[in-house]
Structures are given as C-alpha cells and as structure tokens.
A and B are shown apart, each in its own frame.
Chain A
Amino acid sequence: MQRHLISAADLTRDDAVLILDTAEEMARVADRPIKKLPTLRGRTVVNLFFEDSTRTRISFEAAEKRLSADVINFTAKGSSVSKGESLKDTAQTLEAMGVDAVVIRHSASGAPYRLATSGWIDAAVVNAGDGTHQHPTQALLDAFTMRRRLVGRDAGLGKDLDGRRITLVGDILHSRVARSNVDLLHTLGAEVTLVAPPTLLPVGVETWPCEVSYDLDSTLPKSDAVMLLRVQRERMNAAFFPTEREYSRRYGLDGDRMAKMPDHAIVMHPGPMVRGMEITAEVADSDRCTVVEQVTNGVSIRMAVLYLLLGGNEPAVSHARPTEEK
C-alpha cells in the first residue's frame, strides 16, 4: 500500500482485497461489548473538514476511536475555496502539532493530493471526498457491502468481485462516488455500467473502464447491484434535465423497475436518499436495499484503511486476532 489514500485508482487489486479482508476483521470488533482495539494508541488523527459532511466525519471519528487514536476535529466551514483560510497554513499548523494522519474533506478537487505531495505536511493523508474527484473510502465500503452480499461474509475473504455486474445510476458528472467506484470496481474485476441522461455524463467517459447507457430499464435485468446516486437539487435549475418528474420517470428506481432485477440483486445508495425522485420508499425500505449496512460497513472500512496506513503493511489479523481473543 502507498502511504496515502487519495484515489481509488491508486489501489491495486491486492491492496483493495487486503483492505476488504482487514475490514472483516474490524467488523468483528463492532460485535463485541467493548468496541475498541489498542492499535492506534498514542497516534493522533485529525479530521480536517473544509466541507460539511456530518455523516462522513462521524464515520471516520468512530473508526479512529475504535482504534484508540487521539482524535482532533477541525472544521473550517465556508472557507473552502477562499483565500485567507489557506490549506497550506492549516497543514503547517497540523504538522507543528505532530499529527500522524489527516483525514481531509474539501470542496476543491485535488486538495488532498496537494496536501500529500506539496511537502506542507509529513502525515499520512486520507481523502474523505474532494470536489467532484474521488471518495475512495466510500468506494471501498460499497465494494465491501457488495462482496458481503453477493459473495458472502466469510466466503468472500480473499476474493474480489470478478464478473459481478454493477450499475450506477444518476448524476455521474458531479459524483466523486461514481469516479471512485468505477476505478475500484474495475480493479476488483466487476463489470460496471453507468446509466444517466447524456447531460450528466462527463465528456471523455468513453475512455473509462465501463459501459455507458442512457436506458435504465434495459440494464436492470443484468445487474447484480444497482447503485443510485444522489441528484442534487441545485442541478435542477441548471438545465441538466427538464423536470424532476421526467428524471424520476426515466431514471428513478421504483418497485416495478426493481422487479426487473434478478432476485439476488441489491439496491445501493451512498445516502442521503431523496425519496420519491431517485428512489421510492418501497424500494428504499425493501430488504434488498443496503443503505443502512453501507453506513455500518463504512466504519469497518475506515478502521481498516487507518490501520493499514498507520499500523504497517501486514494484514491486520496478526494484530487484531490476539486482541480479540483476550
């Protein structure tokens, strides 16, 4: 593994499988009365959030605390792309405090990459979402969720997603989740199809390692998992599509559409869901929908990532197992 986790594209197949396997180990911690490992005792992790995301921050924080790290939350609300609150200044302050890892969320694409490569700071950098670029731990938790559901919890250990067919639906253009998922799922051997109106697909998407379709109905019968992406309200006025109703009719997932999916197929969503438009309540509340599991799995994945970045390259099992048996 590299020293930082900036992009899902940086992960090899073996890196990714190692993270998923390690996350399974970490998941067992969550099943115990005391959900804590001493692994990162004495290490300091900063959650540096230049953009609001309570969900992601809490997930990382839970992961850090379960690994016994000292946690500092730094929120620089509203200062994302304005001069004055410079990323560099903040980085140098954190460097002076001697932090071991920085989990960064930023509205500017590339900010975590700059942080990791500009020599401003020496800590390990974990990208918790940057602009419309990448959100690698989200892709990892999605892959983890798919592997558990489609391959099996224990049967999945050591395995990738070879041959599974995954469909991503919605605002691909503005989605760091979509970019990260396409990279990672391809690395793990899955066949990915993106479905969206042409206005919400990026120029150059034809060079991505995936299929592209404008037609949801024809892709559903051959999907093992369908992941719906959030369409942000502000896109509505920017002429990306005519009306919410038309979007919903063509790209929303309702019960009738879900019935076209194979029986074993799952429905995913990175949350928060806009019920009604992209997903109906019927689908969201069905047991095929993995939204709640995705949240739970997020903590395990983030524990695994922090453990592997800070605790060494060897599998977590060598450390985690003895602790577990105490």
Chain B
Amino acid sequence: MSKTLIRGAKVLGGEPQDVLIDGGVVEAVGRDLSAEGAEVVEADGKVLLPGLVDLHTHLREPGREDSETVLTGTRAAASGGYTNVFAMANTFPVADTAGVVEQVWRLGQESGYCDVQPIGAVTVGLEGAKLAELGAMHESAAGVTVFSDDGKCVHDAVIMRRALEYVKAFNGVVAQHAQEPRLTEGAQMNEGVVSAELGLGGWPAVAEESVIARDVLLAEHVGSRVHICHLSTAGSVEIVRWAKSRGIDVTAEVTPHHLLLTDELVRSYNPVYKVNPPLRTERDVMALREALADGTIDIVATDHAPHPHEDKDCEWAAAAMGMVGLETALSVVQETMVDTGLLDWAGVADRMSFKPAKIGQATGHGRPVSAGEPANLTLVDAAYRGQVDPAGFASRSRNTPYEGRELPGRVTHTWLRGKATLVDGKLT
C-alpha cells in the first residue's frame, strides 16, 4: 500500500503537524516529515481525528434494503467520517442468532468502507420474553459484544436482570432503549405544552427516566455494566449522574439531534421531526449538552434510522419514526458542542471515537493518532459552513431534519486502515 502524508493537520485540534500513513498504520506524527514516495494531502488548518465510531446505527439489512443496505450505510458512514459502526439488531429477520449477525458482519467486511460490528438482540425476535443466544452470537465470527432490543425496551425486569448477568461471562454489555411501554402507548411526540396544543399523544419524560432508574439499580445489584441508548431528558441525565456517583458501571449516549432540536419543531407536523425518543424541550437539550461536556453522558451515537421517502411524506401519525444521522453527526456536534465552547476537538475525539470503541470493545478503532496505531482517521474542515443538501447523501434514505439548514464543518477525508474511503468529500 502506498504512503500518504497528511500535511499540516491539527491533530485532535492541536498544533499543526504532519501525519505519515504507511501500510495501514500511522508511521509517524511530527513536524516537516518527508513527503518522499508519499501522496500528499494538504490539510492546512483542518482537524484530524481518529476515525469516528458509532455505537448505534440502523443499517436495515437484512430485510429493509429499500431503506438502507450494509453497503449504502457504510458509504454514508465513511462520508460522515466513521470507520466503525455498530449495526442494530432490529432487522428482518432479527439479528438474534449467530447466522444473522455473521451475515451482517460479512457484508460489512465486503463493503470496504467501514467496519461493521453487529449488535445482537437481547431477546428472541425482540419480543422481550426469552433470551436470544447471546453466547453463540459472541462466539460467532461477528464476535458480538453489544446486545440490544433497540426500537423496543427490554421492559421485563427479570429478563433485563438475566441479560445483564449473562453477558458478564464474556464482558458484553446490554444497551437499553429505555421506554416504559405502558406510559408511551399511543405516544407520538414529547408530552408537554406542545403535544397538548397539537393534539398528539404525549411521550412523558418519566417513561424513559423510570426505566433508566430501574436498570442502573439492576446493574448495581448484579454487578454488571449497562449502556443507556439515546438519553433525551434532563431527568435521565440526573439519574445517570447519580448512578455514576454511586459507582454503578453505567455508560450513556446522546444523539446529535437531541443536542440540537426541540419539540417546538413538531408544530410543523412535518414527520422529519418524528423520532424515538422524541425531540424534547430546550431545557432538556441544554442539560444533555452539559452532560456530554462533563462526561456524564459518555458518547454521541447517531441512531441513524433510514426510511424511504414515502414513509415520511404522509401525515404525522402514519409516518415512520427516525432520522438519518451518519452524514451530519459531526457537523451537529461541532455546532452544539465545539462552536459553543462546551467541548474541544480532543473532547469530540473522546466522545465520538475513543469512548464508543471502548464501550463496544472495537479493538483497532478509537486509538490515539500516534505512530504504530491503525490508520483509521478522519479529516475535518471545521471552518466550512454550508447548507445541508440531502441530494448529496450516500445513504439510501434522505430523511434528515436538517435539509436546507446551515451547519458548520465538513468531513473531507476518511481513511480506513490507511486506505482512503473519502477524498475531498467524495467517496472512493
């Protein structure tokens, strides 16, 4: 493999340096490195980050290839600066056996754009009743380490307890979609002033918070670790903060859209804003930003949820829930966290690469940008500003809430083990 010299990049936002890639690894990091025999990428002023890792992606294959495939999803991931994504289990069939997770894993290997680590379902068919073959999925070629019924909550306390206990045998983690099902029957948006006015079924914050409270206590009781998906309320932040202060082994994620958007947008009845968990209030958004900054929330995860146009171009109640996120995540994090001074680029690398790789045990990803490390890298033009144009998305679906919105930052290059997957904003 040929050499690449990235010249003058601000590594993790620090002073400009050169980074030499050779044979899939970082050969050297320093000033005025020799460009001899290397292809040179001028990175003057741009920010170099470790390749991003998404612990929460929906790739839709198998079963909903009209929304996304592993190939289109990993191309979207590379466009957004990701080198590793964890694929959620709510496919058709559900990823609840070794066979299905191996299929997804192989498709990821073949794509060549981004490593894919399948997430295994916690329960058979996501039905919440019977544990899936967690051990077999872990031992399969896919090496599953993260288990989740995402899209649904593991709401039975006994099943949740057993899952937490069982995965201790191989240091797995259960990622919980916290949503008390009875409290969210008929729910279509955040319960509050806006839902009351619009006449849309309310989704109370307590439906999320009560499950998180229960699960951190269960994790403490059985001495296991638990990961909470897509925190969306200020109260959830308080519970996770309390649990951490108590020494409970809990990690948590927030999506980019919950850092930026509020339920006021639902006044448009435009289903691009329909998402699970729902967009909350300004107060929640501010609490989530603060929690991500102070480390209470460990990581940013996209919850990339592609849907075809016809599933969103309808009335609110009939529309599918979810938004695509891989290609806009970094821009939204820059807007809400970096440009506001809450987080520097080293902090972004921590929340979007180091920590998610650690939680998911993605060895080879989320590594420091230093000599000898795998060359999984992302180059960001942080000075860029432009309107989001979904027409240019690599994802098969375009259900973005940001169409036409101006956002900062643009990923210009992505390298997966030294091989460029994105060059000057174009997929290779």
A residues with a Cβ closer than 8 A to B are: 80-83, 86-88, 106-111, 113-115, 117-118, 130-134, 176, 179, 202-205, 207-208
Contacts and interface: CB of A to CB of B under 8 A. Distances in A.
A113 B191 CA distance: 20
Most buried by A among B194, B200, B317: B317
B204 interface: yes
Contact of B198 (A82, A87, A110): A110
Contacts of A203: 191-193, 195-196, 202, 204
Contacts of B195: 202-204
A178 to B, nearest CB: 10
B202 A133 contact: no
5 contacts: A108-B318, A109-B188, A133-B200, A204-B192, A204-B197
Interface in B291-315: 310-311, 313-315
A109 B313 contact: no
Nearest to A135: B199
B393 interface: no
B384 interface: no
B269 interface: yes
Contacts of B204: 203
Contact of A86 (B191, B194, B200, B318): B318
A302 to B, nearest CB: 21
B314 A86 contact: yes
Interface range, B side = 20 to 34
A109 B198 CA distance: 7
B316 interface: yes
Given A110-B198, A204-B195, A204-B196, 4 more contacts: A109-B188, A110-B316, A202-B195, A207-B193
Contact of B317 (A111, A134, A179, A205): A111
B200 A110 contact: yes
B272 to A, nearest CB: 12
A203 B193 CA distance: 7
Contacts of A108: 315-318
Contacts of B318: 81-83, 86-87, 108
B199 A114 contact: no
Given A203-B191, A203-B202, A203-B204, A110 B196 contact: no
Nearest to B269: A110
Contacts of A109: 188, 198-200, 269, 316-317
Nearest to B316: A110
Nearest to A134: B199
A179 B196 CA distance: 9
B318 to A, nearest CB: 5
Nearest to A202: B196
B313 A81 contact: no
Given A86-B318, A111-B315, A203-B191, A130 B202 contact: no
Nearest to B204: A203
A82 B268 CA distance: 21
A113 B269 contact: yes
B313 to A, nearest CB: 6
Nearest to A173: B196
B120 to A, nearest CB: 29
Interface string B176-200: 0000000000001001111111111
A85 to B, nearest CB: 9
B314 A88 contact: yes
B197 A179 contact: yes
Contacts of B193: 203-204, 207
B197 to A, nearest CB: 7
B358 to A, nearest CB: 39
Contacts of B191: 203
A297 B62 CA distance: 57
Contacts of B188: 109
A11 to B, nearest CB: 15
Nearest to A115: B315
A114 B200 CA distance: 14
Nearest to A110: B269
Contact of B315 (A87, A134, A202): A87
B316 A132 contact: no
B307 to A, nearest CB: 12
B199 A133 contact: yes
A134 B199 CA distance: 8
A81 B195 CA distance: 18
A182 to B, nearest CB: 10
B197 A110 contact: no
B20 to A, nearest CB: 53
Most buried by B among A110, A115, A133: A110
Contacts of A179: 197, 199
Contact of A88 (B194, B200, B202, B313): B313
A107 to B, nearest CB: 8
B196 A205 contact: yes
Contact of A132 (B194, B199, B269, B313): B199
Interface in B146-203: 188, 191-200, 202
B199 to A, nearest CB: 3
B304 to A, nearest CB: 22
A81 B199 contact: no
Closest 7 CB pairs of A and B: A133-B199, A108-B317, A110-B269, A204-B193, A202-B196, A132-B199, A109-B199
A24 B199 CA distance: 31
Contacts of B194: 204
Interface in B334-370: none
